[in-house]
Structures are given as structure tokens and as C-alpha cells.
Chains A and B, each alone.
Chain A
Amino acid sequence: MADASAGGFPDDYPTIDPTSFDVVVCGTGLPESILAAACAAAGKTVLHVDPNPFYGSLYSSVPLPSLPSFLSPGSSAPCPPPSTETSSPASHSAVHLDHRCLYSEVETSGTIPEPSNRFTVDLVGPRVLYCADEAVDLLLRSGGNNHVEFKSVEGGSLLYWDGALYPVPDSKGAIFMDSTLKPGMKTLLFSFFKLVESHIAAEGEGEASGKISEEDLDLPFVEFLKKQRLPPKISAVMLYAIAMADYDQDAADSCEKLLTTRDGIKSIALYLSSIKRFANAEGAFIYPMYGHGELPQAFCRFAAVKGALYVLRMPVTALLLDQEKKRYIGTRLASGQDILCQQLILDPSFKIPSLEIPSDVSDSNSPRKVARGICITSSSIKQGKSSVLVVFPPKSLQEQQAAAVRVLQLSSNVAVCPPGMFMAYLSTPCTDAFLGKQCINKAIEVLFSAQGSDDSEGHLETTSENIENAKPTLIWNCVYVQEITQGTSGTVLSCPMPDENLDYRNILESTKKLFADTYPDEEFLPRNSAPKYADDDSDSAE
């Protein structure tokens, strides 16, 4: 293969060869990377470009010092001068691509401890993987499990209730160990989990006995829990810490936000099977070493192994429009080179110029948002544990708190910060940016004491060991609001933004749907598509 112009370390934009592909993907966020992998696995020729010198786009993990440039509008993507509309020789013209503003209300305080570049920040935080969820399956299917290592969220979950943090009794072991539960309550909990487990087992075997009745499955989950005589605190554990409901189930104003027993049980089933999935994982959740930015890299590598061509530091500036057919037929790179393709896949930071946009992209009625927070402390929320989840149920922080606030604390054992430091991520879905941020700030106040405060109130009851834990001191924090956009399919496909959830299930579902819309006849990352390794003796392959 001729490679005169190839090879790395370009000061100028390289010339891409060939100049025509089945698919061009711009941006290396998780959905784009998975789509690149799926397209390459389906035998499509793929060009995958990213304007940044690193992988991950809106799903990356960035060194903390570069976070501000990511969050402040305008500076995220160096916009080259609009390509002059010199219509190209052919019958197509270039339509300039704009970026949308995705982050707002950015507020930081405190000083980043040195060495500041040893802190790596997830743009998707707080986020984890269930041991038994689709993300793990995709990693296994694509061989990505060879590239990314994980650690358990070994501290389990805590629920904020009546002004204190309580351990979440999410398994038989946890119930047994929990000193805050009365014996009668333990019995109730054991029998509730047993009920769920026998329902799952019966469903698996298609048997009627042991199953929860259809009638009950259609009930709101909150009603079902009352029927099981679970008291409010335990109901809250089930609803918000295990079934992961976000909105107030006691006052749900729309059935959209109301969890049915069917869905509640399904979530609990996933949780329980996650606990059992890997023998030496502790708990239901795992976190990728070095941060979530590793995941897109794993799928990009898979795509590369399947033949996709990778070019970082290569912005796209315009879409190529076929004037007659009113159809996009390619893209113009920052180098000025035009690349033709059948299918364009863009990361959600692009505004797709209207022309063929499906009408359901009406962002008019208050777009969904998520308020996020990032905190640095030098001690753990849960003594002796490096990683832990915390959930603040709706209304637990203030009356106007419409949705649960979720927190994930990490430590240096996942290589995202220096030893002795902790990072906590917070998020809550919101429609009003101000209220969303207010809830995040309240949760920060509850969990941490401000630096320089005299700590007179600086403790928070953690009832697990009946010890009053000193609140960790907040060293640095950043709170901001992020837009959430949905994926849209079409000749120019737009990928979904990182959503408000703790896991990737919705993002993966919509990514799969985008692929199915685009290539209805192709299988999405077939099970046996993992690269075969030339290795005979062992455990590592397949």
C-alpha cells in the first residue's frame, strides 16, 4: 500500500485515501464508536474522524485542567472559517455545519489540587455499568473486554432518608449485615426478594406458579410495595436505589414517570442478576479503570480491526448536498478534502442543517436537561470504602426537588485521581436549569463541608456503624447543566447525548435502533464477530 502521504505526526491535515466510503462517522463518542464498530462488522467501509486529538467526544474522560474549555461554549470545537460556498465542480454544494451549545450555567469553585492533570473527569458522570447489562454484553461480544478493566463499586449504595445516610440492603448479605434494620424488617425484606426471585425464575421457565399476577404487574410499583407491607423507607430503597426510579412515585403527575410493577421488577431483576454475574465483583455495579472514556476507544479499536479508517484531529466543516436530489452525499473535511459517502453519522454536538430533518426533532417544548456536579475531596463519603453510590430521593433535599439526585464517588483505585483523593459525580434530570443546579448544590452541602468552615456542623450521620463520620471537606467543585438530545436517523444520523441515567441502557437501546433504522437487514454486532485471536492454549480468546 502506498504510504507517501500516510503516517502520523501531521502538522497539516493529511489527505485521506480513499475518498469514498459507505459510512463516514464524525465524533468518537460511545454511540458513534459503537455504530462505527457495527457498520465495520457488517462489512461497510467506514471513515471515522474526530476534531480532537483524543477519543471520546462527549463521552470522553478529560484531564481536569482541560474541562473548562470543554464546557464553555464556543471553545469546544475550534471552528474553522466557514468554507466559502464555492460550489464544487460536481452538482453538489457545501452546507456549513454549526455546533450547538450543549453545556450551560458552568460554575466552579475551589482550587484544583496539584498535580491537577492526574485528575481525569468523565463527561458522562455519574455513570456505572450493571454487571449484567447490555453494555457488558456488547463489550464481551466485541472483544472489548480484552481492552478495558473494571473495578466494583465496592461500597454499595447509600440512601438519604430523614437527614441521614443509610446503607441500601440490596442483597441477602447486605440485609444480614445491616445493623440499622430491625429483625422483623429483615424478614420482610428477605421474603420480598424471595418473591421477586421466584417470579423471575417462574418467568424464565414459563411457569404460572410463583409468578406475580398480571393484575399486580400492572399496578404502580409504589402500590405493589405498599401491598407487600414495606414501610416508606424500604419502599424508597426499592424505588429509587434499586429500581432506579427518578421521579416522585407518590405524587407522579404523569404515568410516564410512574413506574409499573412490571418495570420495577424488571429493574430489580437486572440488579439481582448483576450481583451474581461475576464471582469476584462486589455488588451490582462496575466502573471502567481510567474512566468512561475508555469504552469508546475499545469499540473504535474493534472497528479498526474490522477495517475502519481512523483520523483524529480532523474536523468536518460542511455537508455535501446533492442539489437535484436534495440529499446529503458526503462531507467536507477541514483540510478542504471532500469525502463521499452513503451514510453520515454525526455526534450530537452538530446542528444538522434543516432540509430533511424529521419533524419529531421539535425541541420546542422544554428540552430535557441534566444538571451535573463534580467534586474533589480528600476523604470518602463512606469510611473505608473507595467507591460508593448515593441516592437522594425526590423531595428529600427540598420540596422543589422533582427528581432523584444520584451520586457516584470514586477513588484512586480506578486511576482517575491521585492517591488520597476522591472524586464525586452528581446528577439530576431537570427541565429548569436553576432548580436542577440548586438540587445538586443542596446535595453537595449535605455530603461535604465547605473548605475553611469550622466544621461545627461538619458531620453527617452514617448509621451503618453507628459512628458519626466526619463529612469530607470539599476541595474543588464544578456544577453545570447539559442538554439531552435524542438520536435521529436519516442520511445524516445524529447520535444521542449522554443521558441522565446511571447506566448506558437507554443510550445503547437508541444506538441499536439507529443502526436498525439505517441497516434493517444487518445484524447489530453479531455475537461471533469478536476478532479471533491466534491463540490456542487459552482462556483469553472468545
Chain B
Amino acid sequence: MAANSGNKIRNAKLVLLGDVGAGKSSLVLRFVKGQFVEFQESTIGAAFFSQTLAVNDETVKFEIWDTAGQERYHSLAPMYYRGAAAAIVVYDISNQASFTRAKKWVQELQAQGNQNTVVALAGNKADLVETRQVQIEEAKTYAQENGLFFMETSAKTATNVNDIFYEIAKRLLQGQAAQNPQAGMILSQRPNERVVSASSCCS
């Protein structure tokens, strides 16, 4: 999670939040694999993805956690938020209710996460302009008031998808704030191998 200075790779846990059907998984799949599936099934089978992103001479390695459906009945575990360096709260611009609930997720995040978490608000399905229910101005104002940064994205057309992750990476590198100094050790799959300590890191 933390990074050493120098020629650095910075590991960052990023969590996705938002209503069922807002397009959380689609955003990730577009970013990680460059794919889009029109009728994506509810998320089954992926615990997290990782993807690296270069910003100038530095690299951010995102560990992207999807909700695994646990958001459906508001049953995400505290573990999900723990140590999250960044979060993307996703809503569907063609669904006002999903925006209302995005605000609840922001509150939840502020309660559960830590203060240094970089939070992005993504108005997804920006390609659905004809059925738009959430105006850009409304979301922008809300984001400003709550210290989030805001973009409208489309996993379908790839609009702003890389951009939102790039912006998060940039902000993570700017705010080099001391992160989770208490990182513990992560158990290695391979016995007798060195346990990777989260605080010391690959370079």
C-alpha cells in the first residue's frame, strides 16, 4: 500500500461502490481488459483485478476490488473498505435513484474509510444521453461540496474510463501522505517463501 521513494511502484487498493446495475464491473473490465459486454451479469467470480498505470516517471499498481454483489442488500464488510487508498462511487446517469444512493455510498465511505482516501464520483452510462435523468451540473455541485472529483464515464464507449483512473493515480501520487503505517504481513501462497510485507515494496 505504501510506497518507497525512488523509482517507485505504488500499490493502491481501489474499491468500487454504487448500486447494483450502475456499471461498476463494466468500468473495471473496460479499464483492465478493454472489454465491454452489453448485458453484463451481476458480478460473480472476480474478487479483484490489478492493473498498473504510469504517471510521469512513477507507477501506480491498482488493486481493484469489486463488491462481489455484497452491496445488493447493503452488506459490504468493513474489510472491503480497509486500507482503501481510493474509491470510485458509480451511478447511472439515466437513473436518478442510483445517484441518490451514490450519495449514501459517499456517506458510508466517509464513515468507514480513512480520510485520505481519494474519492471519485463517476456518472456512468454517459452514452445514454437520451434517457439522462441526472444533470451534469447537479453532480458536479455535489462533488465539489463533498471534496470528490467528478467525471461522466461510459464503459460502453470507453469515454473517460482511463482518464478517471489516471486522475486517481495522479492524486494518489500527489498526496503522498503517510498511509496505513500499521500494515501487517500478507501470507504468501508458496510455503517457505518470504512473506511480503505490505509496507516494504517492490521497486
Tell me the A1-55 residues at the B interface (CB within 8 Å).
1, 3, 6-10, 14, 16, 54-55
Question: Which chain B residue lies CB-closest to A279?
Answer: B194
The verdict on B198 contacting chain A, using a C-beta distance below 8 Å, is: yes
Considering the chains assembled together, what is the distance between the CA atoms of A139 and B195 in angstroms?
14
The answer to whether B72 touches A6, judged by C-beta atoms less than 8 angstroms apart, is yes
Chain B positions within 8 Å of A535 at CB level: 49-51
When C-beta atoms are compared, the residue in chain B nearest to A142 turns out to be B47
Contacts of B187 in A (CB 8 A): 136, 139-140, 145, 150, 278
- Nearest neighbor of A3 in chain B, beta-carbon distance: B20
The verdict on A148 contacting chain B, using a C-beta distance below 8 Å, is: yes
Interface residues of B in 156-203 (CB under 8 A from A): 182-189, 191-198, 202
* A537 on the B face (CB < 8 A): yes
For B73, the chain A residues whose CB sits under 8 A away are 6, 8, 10, 14, 16, 309-312, 314
Report the minimal beta-carbon distance from A139 to chain B, rounded to whole angstroms: 6
Bound CA span A312–B78, Å: 13
CA distance A534 to B34 in the complex (A): 12
Interface contact A309-B194, CB-CB below 8 Å: no
Is A83 an interface residue, CB under 8 A from the partner? no
Q: Which residue of B lies closest to A16 (CB)?
A: B73
User: Is B37 an interface residue, CB under 8 A from the partner?
Assistant: no
- Look across to chain A and name the residue whose beta carbon is closest to the beta carbon of B198: A149
In the bound complex, residues from chain B placing their C-beta under 8 Å from that of A306 are: 44-45
A310, B70: Cβ atoms under 8 Å?
yes
* A305 close to B (CB within 8 Å): yes
Which of A296-304, A421-429, A432-440, A466-474 is the interface stretch?
A296-304
Q: Which residues of A contact B49 (CB under 8 A)?
A: 533-535
Is A366 interfacial (CB 8 A cutoff)?
Answer: no
Contact yes or no, A534 B33, CB < 8 A: yes
Most chain-B Cβ atoms within 10 A of its Cβ — which of A8, A294, A542?
A: A8
A419's nearest neighbour on chain B, judged by CB, is B182
Is A146 part of the contact surface with B, judged by Cβ < 8 Å? yes
Measured CA separation A535–B50 after assembly (Å): 6
For the complex, is B79 an interface residue (Cβ under 8 Å from A)?
Answer: yes
Residue-wise, chain B 69-98 has the 8 Å CB interface mask toward A (1 for contact) of 111111101111010000000000000010
In the assembled complex, B149 has its CB within 8 A of some CB on chain A:
no
Q: Give how many A residues have a beta carbon under 8 Å from the other chain's beta carbons.
A: 63
Check A301 against B70 for contact (C-beta < 8 Å): yes
- Contact for B184 among A8, A151, A312, CB less than 8 A: A151
Of all chain B residues, the one with the shortest Cβ separation from A143 is B47
Residues of B within 8 A of A8 (CB): 71-75, 101, 104
* Cβ contacts under 8 Å, A542 to chain B: 189
Task: For A140, give the chain B residue with the smallest CB separation.
Answer: B189
Q: How far is the CA of A305 from the CA of B33 in the complex (A)?
A: 19
Query: Would A309 and B19 be within 8 Å (CB), given that A146-B48, A149-B198, A297-B79 are in contact?
Result: no
State A228–B143 Cα separation when bound (angstroms): 72
Contact of B44 among A3, A14, A147, A305 (CB under 8 A): A305
Partner of A289, one of B75, B77, B184: B184
- Chain A nearest CB from B74 CB (Å) reads 3
Closest to B186 in A: A149
Q: Which residues of A have CB within 8 Å of B52?
A: 537
Tell yes or no: B152 within 8 A of A by CB: no
Contact in complex: A6, B20 (CB < 8 Å): yes
Residue of B nearest to A415 (CB): B182
B44–A55 touching, CB < 8 Å: no
User: Chain A 313-340, CB within 8 Å of chain B: the 1/0 string?
Assistant: 1100000000000000000000000000
Are B79 and A294 neighbours in the complex by a CB distance under 8 Å? yes
A175-189, CB < 8 A from B:
none
Residue numbers in B under 8 Å from A3 (CB-CB): 19-21, 72
Cβ-defined partner of A304 (8 Å) among B19, B68, B104: B68
A359 within 8 A of B: no
Enumerate 19 A-B pairs (CB-CB under 8 Å) in ascending A order.
A3-B72, A7-B97, A9-B104, A16-B73, A139-B187, A150-B186, A151-B184, A279-B194, A300-B77, A304-B70, A305-B68, A307-B44, A309-B72, A310-B69, A310-B72, A310-B75, A532-B45, A534-B46, A539-B202
Residues of chain B whose beta carbon lies under 8 Å from any beta carbon of chain A: 19-21, 32-33, 41-42, 44-52, 63, 68-75, 77-80, 82, 97, 101, 104, 182-189, 191-198, 202
User: Which chain A residues have a beta carbon within 8 Å of chain B's beta carbons?
Assistant: 1, 3, 6-10, 14, 16, 54-55, 132, 136, 139-140, 143, 145-152, 276-281, 286, 289-290, 294, 297-298, 300-302, 304-307, 309-314, 412-415, 531-535, 537-540, 542
